[in-house]
Amino acid sequence: MKNNSKKVKVIATAMALVGILAVGGITAYFTDTEHKPNVFTVGEGVDIELDEPGWDPTDPEHDEITPNKVFSKDPIVTNKGTIGAYTFVKVSVPYENIATANDNGTLNSAEDTQLFTYTVNSEWSQVGDVEKDTENKTFNYVYVYGSDTECAELAGGEVTPAVFNTVKFVDVAEGKVNGKTLTIDVNAYAIQTEDINGGTNIPVEVWSVISNHQ
């Protein structure tokens, strides 16, 4: 009887060990990992150049201008980058409170008058209203390459037509501007054509984006 009792204990112990091993075995897993990187390359960006081929800064006539004098001044913009761009030009023209003369010799009452005039070429359109800067005494105009409802794309390597070709000094009737140095400031701006506020190409909306990033 004693021998049988020992055999039972041995068997019971062995079964218990098997149970422990079986429970421990469920902690083993088959695992795997896979990596898929998302690669993006940033474009070269927008790169423009503003030129005035017909403007000669050394021309002595610029130092002694007279009423109704016409000068060559022809701003053009080159897209030197590789991506298309919407292009704008801002022109700041000085003004003075002066009287001007008409062609028949009669005089106009003195008022704030821009000192140079020009004719914008058909490939460009004015954006919004003229802005009067009383601090710097200029009238500021913004023009878009395109129409007043749609910007035209300037592709990489392309050059715009001139915004205008000449400027004309007003027919000043008095000597209020005599001896003054007068400057017409021209600044060019460009922005990528894609992904602008959901894809807009409306000039006033695109110009608003550019203005907010200056």
Distances (CA, A) of 125 to 32, 129, 142, 150, 174: 61, 11, 8, 10, 33
How would residue 34 be classed by pLDDT, with cut points 50, 70 and 90? Answer: low
Average pLDDT score over residue span 193-204: 92
Count of CB atoms situated within 10 Å of the CB of 93: 21
C-alpha to C-alpha distance for 35 and 116, rounded to whole angstroms: 64
Q: What's residue 102's pLDDT? A: 87
Q: Residues in the chain, how many? A: 214
Which of 73, 89, 80 has the alpha carbon at shortest distance from 151?
89
Q: What's residue 6's pLDDT? A: 43
C-alpha to C-alpha distance for 121 and 212, rounded to whole angstroms: 27
Q: What is the pLDDT of residues 132-152, one digit of tens each?
A: 999 999 999 999 999 999 999
